Every structure is written in C-alpha cells, then in structure tokens.
C-alpha cells in the first residue's frame, strides 16, 4: 500500500509538473511570437531607415552639386569684380586725361579770345586812322572828293572793307569750334559721371549678392553636417538592433543551460521506488510519464526557466535583460521618431534653400547682363574702400561659418554620450550573462 501511495504521489507530482511546464511553454511561446513580431517591425524600420539614408545621400549629392555651382558663381563674381576694378581704374585715368585736355582747351580758348579782342581793337584803331586820313585828304584836296564819290572808288573801298572783315572770321570760327568741343567734352564728362554712379550701384548690388551667397553656403554647410549627424545616428540604431538580436539569442541559450540540471533531477528520483515487488507496474507507469516529460524538455526547454529557477540569480538577471531590451526598443522607437521629424524639417529647409538658390541664380544672371554694358569709372579711394569692405564681409562670413561649425560640433558632443553609455551598458550586461552562463555550466558539471 505504501508503494502504491508513493507511486500515485509521484504521478500527481509529475502531472502537476507537466501542467506547469505546458503553461509556461505556452507563455514563453507567446512572448517569443511577440519578440518575432517586434523583430519584424524593427527589420521594416531598418529598411525604411535605409531608404531614408539613400534619399539623404541623394540629397547630399545634390547639395554637393549646388556647392560646386555656388563656387563657380563666386569665382565668376570675383572675376567680374576684378574686371570692374580694372575698368574703374582705366576710366579714372581717362577722366583725368579728359579733365586735363578740357583745362588746356579752356586756356587756349581764353588766349584766343584775348587775341581776338586785341585784333578787333587794332582793326578799329586802323579804321579810325584811315577815316581821319581820308577826311584830311578830302579837305586838303577837293579833287579827291570826286574820286571817292566815283563808283570805282566805292567798289575798291567795299572790297578793302570786306577783306578787312574777312580777316577775323577764321578766328571766330575756330573760337566757335573750340566752344562746341568744350560743350561736347563737358557732356562726355557728365555721361562718364552717370556711368560711374551706375557702376557703383551695380558694384554694391554685386557685393550684396556675394554676401547672400556666402550666407547660403554657410546654411548648406550646416545642412550637410546635419545629414552626416543623421547618418551617424542611423548607424548607431543599426548597432543597437544588432545588440538586441544578440541579447535575444543569448537569452535562449541561457534558458537551455539553466534547465538542464532541473530536468535531470526527476530521473535520479525514479529508481528509488523500484525496489519492491510491483516493479513491473512502476516501470509501466513511470515510462509513459517519463516520455512526455522528456518530450516536454526537448520541445520547451525555454519554458521552465523562470517558473522553476525563480530563486536563481542568473534567471533574475535574464529577466532584467528582457526588461532592458524592451526599454532599449522603446528608446530606439523614440529616436526613430526624432530622426523622422528631423528628416522632414531637413526636407523643408532644403526646399526653401532650393527656391532661394533659384531666385539668386536669376538675380545673378540679371546682374551679369547689367555688368556686360559699358561700365563707368570709379575713383581710387572708393576702390580701396570697396576692397576693404569686401574683405571685411568675407571675414565676417568666415567667422559665422566657423561659429556654426563649432555649434554643430558641440551639439554632436552633447548627443553622443547617451548612445555611448547605452552601448557600454549593453556590452557590460552581455559580459555578465556570459559569466553567469559559465558559472552555471561549472555548477552543473560539479553536480554531475
């Protein structure tokens, strides 16, 4: 009777153990299916991120092309600026030469006017003297009056007076010609001044466009750095995914290693009740109980891990690892959302930048058409002042670019330690799991 009671007790215990193992197996299978589903979701997310990475690389290539175009535009602007400076210097020299010629012509005109006035005064004196002499001769010689009043004499006097009048006419014509030349030169000087003012305005517009292009170049450099930052974050997310898959695989191996000594314990207890006379009945009962137990051990070696070895520190550590893996997954999802938002913001910035580049490209072409016209002349001190202003604007552009790059580097340094700490924690936990597995293996060997 005692033997049958012991056998029934063993059967009840084996049945309860099988039920618990089956329940735990179902729970672990459900959790495994959930992990598989999460793994598939993460694979899809990684594929989506790889597509985004391809698009970002394409955008980066387009940015590089835009950089090249901006460099070419900047070089063209520098060449046009140098040409404008040279033309302004040549125009200045020409203006100086024209002013000198105008001054010389004015002095010549004044000298000629003085000579004309002297000649007129001398001619008037000579005419007065001839009239006086004629009057004297007429009064002294009455016969000459008839000769003077005769038509031949009148014609001779007319010819002489006309010859006297024709004498100063070339001087007057030359004076008029010089006056017209002075007027033409003055009109040319006014036109050159107008051209000079127009070129100064065009030069200021070109400088503004150059500064705007430098600012756009700084913004595009910041966008390129942001793209590199997003690529680095994507690589870190892929590393996190690999670490998570490694942790999930290590959990399965850990459960199998910890379940081995527990499944061997009932086999060691079975031969004790076989010493009585009913050994045949015991073997007949225990063999069917042992075969499903063995099948359960083979099919669900992971299910008995947390139910039977609840007091084992290695099992508690494995549970902590699963919780940490879930937290890592949640953190990865938040990072993915952040990357998505940053990508949309980057796309918006890129579209705005494209529109600005198109507008400025049209403006640069318009400025090129304007500068192809005859260019006015600038003074030397204004050229020096414009060169100093261009150098100052270039220095300010370089300072703003360096400040932007330093800010991006600081932001990257601030954002990296979180991921580094996360990876350090993951690898430390992996090393701990390895050590715990080795310890459990040593314990199992020592117990055997």
Task: Determine the Cα–Cα distance for residues 70 and 204; give it in Å rounded to an integer.
Answer: 19
Q: Residue 178 in contact with residue 105, Cβ under 8 Å? A: yes
Residue 376 DSSP code: -
Question: Helices then strands (H, E): number in the chain?
Answer: 8, 0
For the stretch 106-130, pLDDT in tens is 888 888 888 888 888 888 888 888 8
pLDDT under 50 in the chain at which residues? 141, 144-145, 147, 153-154, 157, 160, 163-168, 255, 257-315, 317-318, 369-385, 388, 405, 412, 415
Q: What was the pLDDT predicted at 280?
A: 40
- Tell me whether residue 79 is exposed, middle or buried, using C-beta atoms within 10 angstroms of its C-beta: 0 to 12, 13 to 18, 19 or more: exposed
What confidence tens digit (pLDDT) does each residue in 64-110 have? 999 999 999 999 999 999 999 999 899 889 888 888 888 888 888 88
Our CA dihedral for 226, 227, 229, 230, rounded to 10 degrees, sits at 120
Predicted structure pTM score: 0.26
CB contact at 8 A, 435 and 427: no
Tens digits of residue pLDDT in 246-272? 766 655 555 454 444 444 444 434 444
**Which tokens hold the place of 229?**
């930052």
């Amino acid at each position: 009777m005692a033997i049958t009671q012991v056998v029934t007790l063993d059967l009840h215990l084996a049945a309860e153990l099988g039920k618990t193992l089956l329940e735990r197996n179902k729970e672990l299978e459900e959790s495994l299916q959930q992990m598989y589903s999460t793994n598939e979701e993460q694979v899809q997310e990684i594929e989506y991120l790889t597509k985004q990475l391809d698009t970002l690389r394409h955008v980066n290539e387009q940015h590089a092309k835009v950089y090249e175009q901006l460099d070419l535009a900047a070089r063209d602007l520098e060449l046009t600026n140098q040409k404008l400076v040279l033309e302004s210097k040549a125009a200045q020299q020409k203006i100086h030469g024209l002013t000198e010629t105008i001054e010389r012509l004015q002095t010549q005109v004044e000298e000629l006017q003085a000579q004309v006035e002297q000649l007129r005064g001398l001619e008037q004196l000579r005419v007065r003297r001839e009239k006086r002499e004629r009057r004297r001769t007429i009064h002294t010689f009455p016969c000459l009056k008839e000769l003077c009043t005769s038509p031949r004499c009148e014609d001779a006097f007319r010819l002489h007076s006309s010859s006297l009048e024709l004498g100063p006419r070339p001087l007057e014509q030359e004076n008029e010609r010089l006056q017209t030349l002075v007027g033409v030169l003055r009109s040319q000087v006014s036109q050159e001044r107008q051209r000079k003012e127009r070129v100064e305005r065009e030069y200021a517009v070109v400088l503004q466009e150059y500064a705007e292009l430098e600012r756009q170049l700084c913004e595009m450099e910041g966008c390129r750095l942001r793209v590199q930052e997003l690529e680095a974050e994507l690589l870190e997310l892929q590393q996190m995914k690999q670490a998570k898959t490694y942790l999930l695989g290590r959990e399965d191996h850990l459960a199998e290693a910890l379940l081995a000594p527990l499944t061997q314990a009932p086999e060691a207890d079975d031969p004790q009740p076989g010493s009585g006379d009913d050994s045949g009945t015991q073997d007949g009962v225990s063999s069917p109980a042992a075969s499903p137990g063995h099948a359960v051990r083979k099919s669900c070696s992971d299910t008995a891990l947390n139910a039977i070895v609840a007091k084992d520190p290695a099992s508690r550590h494995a549970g902590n690892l699963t919780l940490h893996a879930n937290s890592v997954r949640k953190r990865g999802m938040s990072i993915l959302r952040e990357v998505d938002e940053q990508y949309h913001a980057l796309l918006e910035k890129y579209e705005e930048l494209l529109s600005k580049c198109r507008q400025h490209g049209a403006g640069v072409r318009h400025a090129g058409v304007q500068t192809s016209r005859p260019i006015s002349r600038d003074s030397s001190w204004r050229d020096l002042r414009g060169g100093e202003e261009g150098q100052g604007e270039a220095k300010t552009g370089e300072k703003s670019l360096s400040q932007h790059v330093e800010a991006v580097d600081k932001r990257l340094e601030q954002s990296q330690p979180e991921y580094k700490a996360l990876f350090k924690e993951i690898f430390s936990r992996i090393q701990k799991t390895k050590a715990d597995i080795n310890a459990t293996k040593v314990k199992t060997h020592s117990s055997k």
